[in-house]
Every structure is written in structure tokens, then in C-alpha cells.
Amino acid sequence: MPNIGATELLIVLFMLGIPVLIVVAVVLAIVRSGRSSGLPSAAASPGWLADPTQRHQQRYWDGTRWTAAVSDDGAQASDPI
């Protein structure tokens, strides 16, 4: 096995590190945005959750779909999706 110099080793590490950093950055952006699909997990039971449209503080999830019922500061209203 040939000896690898410090310069070659740095180049290899740099070339391997760039794709890893890109993947990590994309994953973090998706997680931070919280908008993977706009749907709660399959196990989410009916209830008031954060509005996926971000037009209101909360929107009612009936267990299978988002409803028109919304809430801001405790005041309920209707806003169809």
C-alpha cells in the first residue's frame, strides 16, 4: 500500500466531506422547516395542532384530514384549505 502524504489525505477528506455536509445541511433544513408533508404522523389523533398553512396558530385535524376550523389566540373561526 503506497504512503499517502498529508496533502493527498486532506484532498481526500475534503472530497468526502463536501457531500456529507450537503446532505446534513439539507436534512437540517427540512427538519427545521417542519414542512415535510403538512400532515401529522399517522398516529396523530384528532385535535388542535399547528396550522400547516401557517395562516393561523392552530387548525383542527380530524384524524384523517385538516378541517376548515382554525383558532388564533383561542378565538375559533373557519378558513377552508
pLDDT digits (tens, 9 = 90+) for 34-70: 555 566 766 679 999 999 999 999 999 999 999 999 9
Which run of H or of E encompasses 20?
A: helix 6-33
Distance in angstroms (rounded) separating the CA atoms of residues 81 and 70? 10
Strands 58-61 and 47-50: antiparallel
What is the four-CA torsion angle of 48, 50, 35, 20, rounded to 10 degrees? -110
Q: pTM of the prediction?
A: 0.52
Cα gap 37→16, rounded to integer Å:
31
